[in-house]
Structure 1
Amino acid sequence: MTNAFHVGQLVRVTRPSSGYADRRIYCILCMVAEERGIPLYRIKNTVGAERLVSAEEIEPAALTALP
């Protein structure tokens, strides 16, 4: 399993399932088992909202980003 991201990395959602851009900063908590060959990541924002996303749905946050 090749990891595009690592635990603790700050990311932004680029293709949200709800249809609009979610520009909040999220932190990758862990990598979840692959589903149909696609690795899934559990991410969490500062409010405490967690979600599962694939690598295609997220991008690294800027180096100056704060959680």
Structure 2
Amino acid sequence: MNNSFHIGQLVRITRPSSGYADHRIYCIVCMVAQEKGRQIFRVKNTVGAERLVTSDEIEPAALTAVP
């Protein structure tokens, strides 16, 4: 299932390309690019760590999630 994401949305990384599932909450900072139908986002967590993820690697966080 391919969800539509937006800037400011809270997400969880569930299927990273590195194989390490990081279930912390991240916020989408910006959309970097779109290639072959996949969007690439820059996300940031509460301690300021940033990563690039594809739309296939993330899922929306629960409505009760706190950044």
Both proteins in one fold, TM over 0.5? yes
Count of residue pairs brought into register by the alignment:
65
Counterpart in 2 of 1:38? 38
For 1:1-27, what per-residue CA distance to the aligned partner results, in whole angstroms no more than 9, with x for missing partners? xx8100000000011233222110000
- Structure 2 length normalisation: TM-score? 0.86
- Structure 1 length normalisation: TM-score? 0.86
3-state SS of 1:64 partner: coil
State how far apart, in whole Å, the 2-side matches of 1:60 and 1:5 are: 8
Q: How does 1:1-67 map to 2 (within 5 A)?
A: 4-67=4-67
| Structure 2, unpaired ranges of 5+ | none
Percent identity over the alignment? 75
State how far apart, in whole Å, the 2-side matches of 1:33 and 1:19 are: 22
State how far apart, in whole Å, the 2-side matches of 1:51 and 1:35 are: 17
Name the amino acid aligned to 2:33. Answer: A
Structure with the higher fraction of residues in helix conformation: 1
State how far apart, in whole Å, the 2-side matches of 1:36 and 1:60 are: 22
- Please report the RMSD computed on the Cα atoms of aligned residues, expressed in angstroms: 1.4
| Structure 1, unpaired ranges of 5+ | none
State how far apart, in whole Å, the 2-side matches of 1:38 and 1:49 are: 22
- CA-CA distance at 1:35 after TM superposition: 3.1
- CA-CA distance at 1:33 after TM superposition: 1.8
